[in-house]
Structure 1
Amino acid sequence: MSALVLSVLLSLVSAFAYAGGAIVQERVAETSGSTYAPLRRPAWWGAGCLNGLGALLHVIALAYGPLSLVQPLGALTIVVALPMAALFVGRRAGSTAWRGAIMATVGLAGLLALTGTPSEQSLDGTERLLVGLITAGGVVVLMTSARAAHRHPVVRAVLLAVAAGGAFGMASVFTKSVAVDWSGSPLAQLPSLLAIAGLATTGMLLSQASYRGAGLAAPLATATVVNPVVAAAVGITLFGETFRHGTIGTVLALGCGVVAAGGLILLTTERIGRDRRESTAHVVARHPSAPASPVVPVSPVVPDSPAALDGMPSQPKPPHDDERSSYENVRS
């Protein structure tokens, strides 16, 4: 088996592992009271193992194959997750969700394919501290915004997924810096290693929270697209990386970014529309419209009629004026 074929197979298995982990996370989010870390749920730990396996296989695939091939194949996680969710947990995606997932995957794959060859530059101590502080501030802002949007589950989920993707992307940036500067002594890279662990854990917890009440497709697609985009943006601005084919490649990359963003918008609007329909159906089920009761005409009760006197206490009838005068004459 050639190294290229092996890298493709490893990338595909990695995509399936990532998709399986996302499906398990989404199911745990739907059935667990904990938002970020349901530590008592064995399934959540299983999802973490699947995500770790996906990351390990992705790294090994990069060792055997070119970055321009392995990275786009990693974007297949979005498309793979939809049929897997329908097969294993019975969660079928609509046509809009499929179009959005395919658009996001194609846009991301094109963007990654146009990314130039990674450079051997690294971040120094000051740059790492600055990037870490900016990342932490961005994550806090997104988490605060998501908390403010708690009445809109899909918007909240997308904000958390953006934060998760950003954390994962910055973990990749720190990993690259450690790999370039590695001298065989872990103590020399201890701050960066701690930053990688913290960013990876933060991304895992935020991705778990993003699935709560928002389904699978929109949060997964958002995190999958934001992750490499953030890493590529840092690579271009700080590592001196560029897109392939010069100006034309840059324009094509921007077009791919627009396509990916359009796919994310489709996924988000599809989920919002579904939530509105389900909410309307729930309200109708809880408060069904009462059928109009027939109006029964009520006939006026005539006091002198025998039917009106049945079952009614008899009361003395006030005498008429003529009868009163006759009575007085007789009495006199």
Structure 2
Amino acid sequence: MSALALSVLLSFVSAVAYAGGAIVQEQVAVSCPDGSYMPLRRAGWWAALALNGLGGLLHVVALACGPLSLVQPLGALTIVFALPMAALFVGRRAGAAAWRGAVMATVGLAGLLSLVGSADARSLDSAQRVAVALVTGGAVVALTCAGLAAHRHPAVRSVLLASASGTAFGMSSVFTKTVAVDWSDGIVLGDLPSLAVIGAFATAGVLLSQASYRGGGLAAPLATATVVNPVLAAAVGILMFGETFRHGGTGTVLALGCAAVAAGGLILLTTERLEQDPASAGAGPAPTGRDEEGLTRAGTVPEVPAQARPAHPDSAGAGLPESGPTPAAPADVRVPRGPAYDGTPYVPLCANIYAPLPVLNAHRSRVRS
């Protein structure tokens, strides 16, 4: 097998591993009751980390065997692989809008990455590293705070946290490339701060990606992180590493078009998720006929059997029936509902003012006798 074919095969397997890790992460986020960012006691979370680590390792090996212009676009297939895998293994089927958004994001990202040219290997100086770390760290913190503030809108919260995760992973890749360039001539102890930054960004990316799947589904956060990560790395490469787009001005225009297609796919995925949220979050409890005061209209009270109604305490010998149908209350009469209510409709005195007179007459006759 040639090196080019091996790199293609490893890229496909890497995308499948990334997709599997995302599916497991989403399932852990759904089943975790406390919504923890780091559910250390869940075996599924460790399995997701193992799958993501396998995907990253295979991606690095693929880059070593094949050109960057081929391997990076193939990594975008993670979104396309994740949807059928989720339907096959966990029964989560994606709608037509999710498929369109996923395909648009994948095609746009693949086209964008294929147009980014390579440059001579170079590293960042100390001032650039500090500036990039501070700016990117501030962006990650801002996106995380915005996502936590949008807790009432799970889709928006998920996309914001996934953007923060993709930003953290992208900057981790940038610093990894910088350290790799520095170590081409031997290990440099001065890169220890850069290694710490890599560990911090990688850890933040893992935790934020886990949080992005809670309440946000699978497609939208996965597509967002998959797009933001390489786009940010490519932007830093263009701005600081001297990389350019292929084919001059034409390539730049095509790259902008591909970026617009990828952004449209992300917007479509987010919109599709937003349309699902109001159906579940906006639907209140089913109407029960109760108003704010805990009262039920008489028309909604079920008919109580006659034998279940207690007899009036003064009805004995007064000629009043102890059983029989109870006249229905007027439609505008409210019936109090409470723990001690026996089901008998309540009618105000003004509705039948002469009802107690026979009882009073019977009581007065017994007293006289």
TM-score normalised over the length of structure 2: 0.78
Cα separation, partners in 2 of 1:18 and 1:256, compared to 1, 3 Å? same
1:176 aligns to what? 177
The one-letter code matched in structure 2 to 1:74 is G
Note the residue ranges of structure 2 that are not aligned, 5 or more in a row: 290-296, 302-326, 331-350, 363-369
1:58 has 2:59 as partner: yes
1:10 aligns to what? 10
Looking at structure 1, the residues matched to 78 and 240 of structure 2 have their Cα atoms a distance apart, in angstroms, of 28
Cα separation, partners in 2 of 1:42 and 1:248, compared to 1, 3 Å? same
1:189 aligns to what? 191
Tell me by how many angstroms 1:293 deviates: 4.8
Percent identity between the two aligned chains? 66
The one-letter code matched in structure 1 to 2:361 is Q
The one-letter code matched in structure 2 to 1:151 is R
Tell me by how many angstroms 1:216 deviates: 0.6
The one-letter code matched in structure 2 to 1:187 is L
2:310 aligns to what? none
2:221 aligns to what? 219
1:279 aligns to what? 281
Q: Is the 8 A contact 1:35 1:212 kept in 2?
A: no
1:270 has 2:272 as partner: yes
Looking at structure 1, the residues matched to 127 and 43 of structure 2 have their Cα atoms a distance apart, in angstroms, of 40
Q: Aligned to 1:315, what secondary structure does the other structure show? A: helix
Looking at structure 2, the residues matched to 118 and 167 of structure 1 have their Cα atoms a distance apart, in angstroms, of 23
2:24 aligns to what? 24
1:229 has 2:231 as partner: yes
CA shift digits 1:251-291 (9 cap, x unpaired): 0000000000000000001011112122355x3xx324559
| Matched ranges for 1:1-332 at <5 A | 1-32=1-32, 33-182=34-183, 183-185=185-187, 187-280=189-282, 283=284, 286-288=285-287, 293=300, 312-313=358-359, 315=361
Q: Aligned to 1:194, what secondary structure does the other structure show? A: helix
Looking at structure 1, the residues matched to 188 and 241 of structure 2 have their Cα atoms a distance apart, in angstroms, of 23
The one-letter code matched in structure 1 to 2:244 is T
The one-letter code matched in structure 2 to 1:234 is V
Root mean square deviation of aligned Cα: 2.2
Looking at structure 2, the residues matched to 210 and 152 of structure 1 have their Cα atoms a distance apart, in angstroms, of 12
Looking at structure 1, the residues matched to 262 and 352 of structure 2 have their Cα atoms a distance apart, in angstroms, of 77
Q: Aligned to 1:221, what secondary structure does the other structure show? A: helix
Looking at structure 1, the residues matched to 175 and 329 of structure 2 have their Cα atoms a distance apart, in angstroms, of 83
Tell me by how many angstroms 1:184 deviates: 2.4
Cα separation, partners in 2 of 1:78 and 1:297, compared to 1, 3 Å? same
Segment drifting more, 192-201 vs 106-115: 192-201
Misfit runs of 4+, over 6 Å:
300-303
The one-letter code matched in structure 2 to 1:196 is I
Tell me by how many angstroms 1:312 deviates: 3.7
Note the residue ranges of structure 1 that are not aligned, 5 or more in a row: 317-332
Tell me by how many angstroms 1:120 deviates: 1.1
Tell me by how many angstroms 1:88 deviates: 0.9
Looking at structure 1, the residues matched to 280 and 257 of structure 2 have their Cα atoms a distance apart, in angstroms, of 35
CA shift digits 1:151-210 (9 cap, x unpaired): 111111111111110111111111111111113225232111121111111111110111
The one-letter code matched in structure 2 to 1:155 is V
Count of matched residue pairs: 307
Tell me by how many angstroms 1:243 deviates: 0.3
CA shift digits 1:107-134 (9 cap, x unpaired): 0000001010243121011111111111
Looking at structure 1, the residues matched to 233 and 38 of structure 2 have their Cα atoms a distance apart, in angstroms, of 26
The one-letter code matched in structure 2 to 1:164 is S
1:323 aligns to what? none
TM-score normalised over the length of structure 1: 0.87
